[in-house]
Structure 1
């Protein structure tokens, strides 16, 4: 194989460019594989570290109105953005959901090219008691508004421990060893560059190799951004990006939700303090279709939690079967195809396979077995504050409040007039609807998460055919004039 070091970095930061050797078919319609350096592979692996809300924010910032539809995720994000601030416990709680940080921020900052709009680390200390032995520190936006020790404002920025920054900056590799190179197929299956020619032939088929020809391409910021987008909506992201001039944007493959029994290995890890949530579905009796759902703030907060879960964390929760095929392949390559020796450290592979959420994100209404990143700080000089939630850990949303949720996860405060308008618009008579009550636990939550990524009828695909529905009392089943 060719020396992957030729896939060198021309520049750094947002101006970085990767020169890659690509094998395509003779018709120039399909990328067979790419030979990538550790720098390029690190960027692909960084996709797994990004919270879903961060991905939506980055794509919308870059593409604007041309941002691709990723299931119902964009509607959920936009609904929270449009929700008035008084519905949130604090303004910072809303910001945490819309601009979630990654537990890999240190690593992301070391990438040769960062398309993720990585925010600076900001730590605060109290301007009143900051010179005492014990300092109160917060890592949140406006959540550190007041010191929990003395009540004064905490607006002085402090730094992480020096050794943390030094560790992040050491070496050239970020996730993988800097001397490693990789073979990456069109669907993002990734192998260390020791597969050999016969291994490649077995993977892509002799017929394709007989018609293969090499080309050189240069990928910069816009192309890597396109690759992030394509990996979420296409089964052939490399072809879509590298051969975009011959394929065209309309050739993106629509990914659909594939109902199947979810694996049970994480059911015993369910949050022991969580309780099943109630969602009431309003269904058209004549067709069995969901008209809308209504639920309390705990269920909406559960939906909101999707935004701070990293893509690799979603893969872990769903056992590598999210129906986002390219990301599934990238994740399973990390778990099964790339041995520990090719990663920068023995712990790095495990961190990518089951990434933590950022410190301080998890609320009491989560039901998934999530873990948060442990911050490194000098405990003899600082104490940590979870003042993002007014009384320590708690909720993002205020209550009590009932919300209306459409099938595509558009969320709004419940309003009778909007419900009547919704029924009239769909030409549904009030006598043709019934209300059914659904219990939402871990199994149902995983199904909703999975459908959110690829379906615009999330609640129907995830719930209507997969759980038993408890019929309500007769007097509450139908709407009366």
Structure 2
């Protein structure tokens, strides 16, 4: 039987300790996913050496839909202003040079990224979104990522066809007998390439997974 003194000496966990533990757990989960990547099976036309379409799970589709939730300022920072098509990079460069008297400077340089977008993007781009200037992350955000939850419902577990132009629909059981299959992984480098290519190309999967290897 435990004495009162034993009970008094037992450590008490406060909310801050629990938040720290949850944050570490979330970072560990994000690191594991970052290392493993998201699997996607390319279906390649061997005559044209283009991706006809790809087979992907709901995790890949969640990653693609999460791109829609990224603020433009975050996109520019992720890809770096030097690699942006057009002139939006110049806007970021100008804001960076403005003095502290510009009230909107901090908010423009550090746009908030919502938990719905972070659920998959955080795992793939954690170094940019959690440690850089581009995300106002809280312990509750990390908790949501660790638990695989977000402010919007997750897609049902299913297989999807993803077009070379990133259009997608549930898999319809296409005949693949005349085509070549190749399974690849989306990790941080590929995620950034997909983001960049999605802004300027209609053949994203071909550009990222085939042409980049030539």
Q: TM-score by structure 1 length?
A: 0.33
With a CA cutoff of 8 Å and minimum separation of 6, indicate the structure with the bigger relative contact order.
2
Q: 1:15·1:113 contact (CA, 8 Å) conserved in 2? A: no
Task: Identify which of 98, 121, 124 aligns with 1:114.
Answer: 124
Q: Secondary structure at the match of 1:184?
A: strand
- Pairing 1:101–2:112 present: yes
> Match of 1:186?
164
**How many pairs are equivalent?**
177
> Match of 2:77?
57
Q: Secondary structure at the match of 1:12?
A: helix
- Aligned pairs (5 A) from 1:218-237: 218-237=185-204
Which ranges of 4 or more aligned residues in structure 1 deviate by more than 4 Å? 164-175
RMSD: 3.1
Instruction: State the distance in 2 between where 1:114 and 1:30 align.
Output: 25
Q: 1:51·1:100 contact (CA, 8 Å) conserved in 2? A: yes
Instruction: State the distance in 2 between where 1:167 and 1:20 align.
Output: 24
Q: 2:66·2:117 contact (CA, 8 Å) conserved in 1? A: yes
> Match of 2:22?
none
Q: Which structure 2 segments of 5+ residues have no match? A: 1-30
Q: 2:42·2:183 contact (CA, 8 Å) conserved in 1? A: yes
Instruction: State the distance in 2 between where 1:33 and 1:96 align.
Output: 39
User: 1:13 deviation in Å?
Assistant: 4.2
Q: 2:55·2:162 contact (CA, 8 Å) conserved in 1? A: yes
User: 1:165 deviation in Å?
Assistant: 7.1
- Aligned pairs (5 A) from 1:318-329: none
Instruction: State the distance in 1 between where 2:97 and 2:148 align.
Output: 43
CA deviation string 1:260-311 (max 9, x = no partner): xxxxxxxxxxxxxxxxxxxxxxxxxxxxxxxxxxxxxxxxxxxxxxxxxxxx
Q: 2:66·2:118 contact (CA, 8 Å) conserved in 1? A: no
Instruction: State the distance in 1 between where 2:58 and 2:164 align.
Output: 17
Instruction: State the distance in 1 between where 2:109 and 2:158 align.
Output: 36
User: 1:12 deviation in Å?
Assistant: 2.3
Q: TM-score by structure 2 length?
A: 0.69
- Aligned pairs (5 A) from 1:364-379: none
- Pairing 1:37–2:57 present: yes
- Aligned pairs (5 A) from 1:246-395: none
- Aligned pairs (5 A) from 1:117-266: 117-118=129-130, 119-121=135-137, 169-171=146-148, 176-193=154-171, 195-197=172-174, 212-245=179-212
- The structure where helix makes up a greater share of residues is 2
